[in-house]
Homo-oligomer: A and B are copies of this chain.
Amino acid sequence: MTGIAAKTGRPRSEQSRTAILHAVDDLLAEVGYKAVTFKGIAERAGVSRQTVYRWWDTKAEILLEASAVDARAELAIIPTGDRVTDLTAYLAALTRFLTDSDAGAGYRALLGEAQHDEAVAALLHGTDIIGDSAAAILAVALPPETIEGTVPQAVAELVGPTFFRILNGHDPEELDHRAATLRFLARHNA
């Protein structure tokens, strides 16, 4: 768990904090998740290793803090009022997020770690970035009664196919987001 600021004494250096978060972002993009180490982060940020350890327990926590804001922004769609357009745009945004974005790379790394690291899984629990964003777009795109009581299910059916194909290494170019949207709506509309 992240360290807690004391009430007295020298205050935490905001400069060090942001330097560390930026260093993690940079390192993730440059050398990949596996090569992101506490040692490397500290050196890149121009900060002592102890300072990193003082405020974060795992590199997953740093990575989450470093990429969560960007991730939410990239998955937020401005609704147009047309459900086909909105859902199609969302699936396109999701695909870009998972394949091209730095924040998405962080998310995939964390999700990957969570598959075999209970601590990371616990950290991610209640931080369902994709699920939250999908629920948000569904709430404006569909009439409330349509998915009442089955939001997790509807979310899974919306994003699941895309999610599965990308995580299994399929070519994202092959995805037809509009067709997927229409098939999704075919079930929940009429």
* Residues on A facing B (Cβ under 8 Å): 32-34, 105, 108-109, 111-118, 121, 124-125, 128, 130-131, 152-153, 156-157, 159-165, 167-170, 174, 180, 183, 186-187
A109 contact from B115, B118, B153, B186, Cβ within 8 A: B115
A164 and B170 contact, CB distance less than 8 A? no
User: Contacts A152-B170, A152-B174, A187-B186 given: A33-B116 contact, CB under 8 Å?
Assistant: yes
Among A33, A108, A109, A157, find the residue whose CB has the most chain B CB atoms closer than 10 A: A157
Chain B residues with CB below 8 A from A128, complex form: 168
A169 contact from B32, B114, B167, Cβ within 8 A: B114
Chain B residues with CB below 8 A from A118, complex form: 32
B117 and A32 contact, CB distance less than 8 A? yes
A186 CB, min distance to chain B CBs, angstroms: 6
B165 and A164 contact, CB distance less than 8 A? no
| Whole-angstrom CA separation of A170 from B32 in the bound complex | 27
Residue of B nearest to A36 (CB): B116
User: Contacts A157-B183, A160-B162, A160-B164 given: A116-B124 contact, CB under 8 Å?
Assistant: no
Residue of B nearest to A159 (CB): B164
Given contacts A109-B115, A157-B160, A187-B187, 6 further A-B contacts (CB under 8 A): A121-B169, A130-B164, A153-B180, A160-B164, A160-B165, A163-B164
26 contacts between A and B (CB under 8 A): A32-B118, A105-B116, A109-B115, A111-B115, A112-B114, A112-B115, A114-B169, A115-B167, A121-B169, A124-B168, A125-B169, A128-B168, A130-B168, A152-B174, A156-B160, A156-B161, A156-B162, A156-B164, A156-B165, A159-B160, A159-B164, A160-B162, A160-B164, A161-B161, A164-B164, A167-B167
